[in-house]
């Protein structure tokens, strides 16, 4: 990675990871599996933790998954186009560097959110007892 690109990736990460966004992402990661768990906990008996994990990830969360992944970072890009920020940036850095840094940050954040949306319910289902 060139020095300009690595600096631009850091700038984009700092711009994207705000306190407000972290709260929204944490709410998505924690609230969706909790709602799913509350919906299914009374109706089924689980003999293994894996059964609970598979059931947690089998209802509406996978349906919302593509929408959530798009909303993780794409909103910033739309806002920048709407406010004519991209022509302003094009004067200062090459457009290819700017767009590639956006792509890298989008990949990092989307992977992190997707991983945590699966990993947190897994930890939750493995660490709780099988009987309530």
pLDDT, tens only, 65-118 = 777 777 777 777 778 888 888 888 888 889 899 889 988 998 898 889 889 888
Q: pTM (2 decimals)?
A: 0.78
Element (H, E) at 122: helix 95-127
- Sign (positive/negative) of CA torsion 75, 76, 79, 81? negative
Give domain limits for the chain: 3-127
In this structure, are residues 38 and 127 in contact, taking their beta carbons and an 8 Å threshold?
no
């Amino acid at each position: 990675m060139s020095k300009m690109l690595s600096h631009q990736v850091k700038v984009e990460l700092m711009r994207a990871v705000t306190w407000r966004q972290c709260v929204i992402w944490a709410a998505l990661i924690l609230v969706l599996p909790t709602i799913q768990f509350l919906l299914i906990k009374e109706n089924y008996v689980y003999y293994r933790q894996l059964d609970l994990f598979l059931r947690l990830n089998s209802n509406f969360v996978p349906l919302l998954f593509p929408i959530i992944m798009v909303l993780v970072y794409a909103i910033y890009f739309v806002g920048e186009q709407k406010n004519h920020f991209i022509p302003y940036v094009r004067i200062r850095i090459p457009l290819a560097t700017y767009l590639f840094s956006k792509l890298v940050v989008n990949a990092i954040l989307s992977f992190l959110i997707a991983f945590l949306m699966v990993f947190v319910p897994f930890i939750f289902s493995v660490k709780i007892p099988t009987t309530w």
